[in-house]
Amino acid sequence: MSLMWSVKVVGLGVVALSLSLELLGWVFGRCRRRRTVNRVLFFPSKVACVEHFSCFCPLPHGEETSFSCLLRHILSASSSLDLCVFSFSNMDLSRAVLLLHSKGVTIRVLSDKHYSAITGSQIGVLRKAGVCVRCDAGSVYMHHKFAVVDGRQLITGSLNWTLTAVQSNMENIIITEEAELVQPFIKEFNQIWALNDPAQ
């Protein structure tokens, strides 16, 4: 093989190698972008304190539990939180919603009319604090228990936002960013929200 022929083959090989590396980078980049959150939490959650500072209660501190993970995902909201929940009496979750509200996150809460009036319900507390709340009276039960964070992340499952559900029952929560799962819930929320517009 002549010297010039060898040079051509080596040159073309280098070009092919660099193109392959670029292609591989693009494929891996796409795979990484496609990586969406998909996780499952089970309850009852281990009981632990969810305060981060200045707490001297006897509960364990700084532990990662199903409940602390749920709280973290809710508190990650930076622009909006749409919450559609049958029963809402858990005070830690209520404080989380109020904290987001105080930070300017747009909150919309839908609940069941019958359950929003029971003792311990946080629906009245939220309404008094200025959170937009609507209650559904059209169906036997508005039995959903889901939240959409920033129009992107769906939190849904069997878990009502109560202390019993978190600490005593066997329950599940799915946290997902799969658009095929998130988008129908956003549509459903907007429909129920519009249906229960008090101006109508």
18 scored as a contact of a second copy (CB under 8 A): no
Specify the residue for token string 């978190």.
166
Q: Which of residues 113-142 bind a second copy (CB under 8 A)?
A: 136, 139-142
Q: Is the peptide bond before 44 cis (omega within 30 degrees of 0)?
A: yes
Of 180 and 197, the one with the shorter C-beta distance to a second copy is: 180
143 has catalytic annotation: yes
1 scored as a contact of a second copy (CB under 8 A): no
Q: In sequence order, which residues have a C-beta less than 8 Å from that of residue 26 and are 6 or more positions away? A: none
Choose the catalytic residue: 82, 101, 112, 145.
145
Smallest separation, CB 197 to a second copy (Å): 16
Token pair for residue 12? 């073309």
Q: How far apart are CA 94 and CA 138, in angstroms?
A: 25
Choose the catalytic residue: 8, 61, 150, 197.
150
28 scored as a contact of a second copy (CB under 8 A): no
**Of 59-67, 88-96, 97-105, 156-164, which part binds a second copy (CB under 8 A)?**
156-164
136 has catalytic annotation: no
168 scored as a contact of a second copy (CB under 8 A): yes
At 134, phi and psi to the nearest 5? -130, 145
Smallest separation, CB 89 to a second copy (Å): 14
Specify the residue for token string 């769906």.
154
Region label for 93, one of left (φ > 0), alpha (ψ between -120 and 50) or beta (otherwise): alpha
159 scored as a contact of a second copy (CB under 8 A): yes
Of 88 and 185, the one with the shorter C-beta distance to a second copy is: 185
Q: How far apart are CA 74 and CA 92, in angstroms?
A: 11
- Measure the CA angle with vertex 97, ends 144 and 35; round to 5°: 70
Of 95 and 113, the one with the shorter C-beta distance to a second copy is: 113
57 scored as a contact of a second copy (CB under 8 A): no
Q: How far apart are CA 15 and CA 21, in angstroms?
A: 10
7 scored as a contact of a second copy (CB under 8 A): no
Active site residues: 143, 145, 150
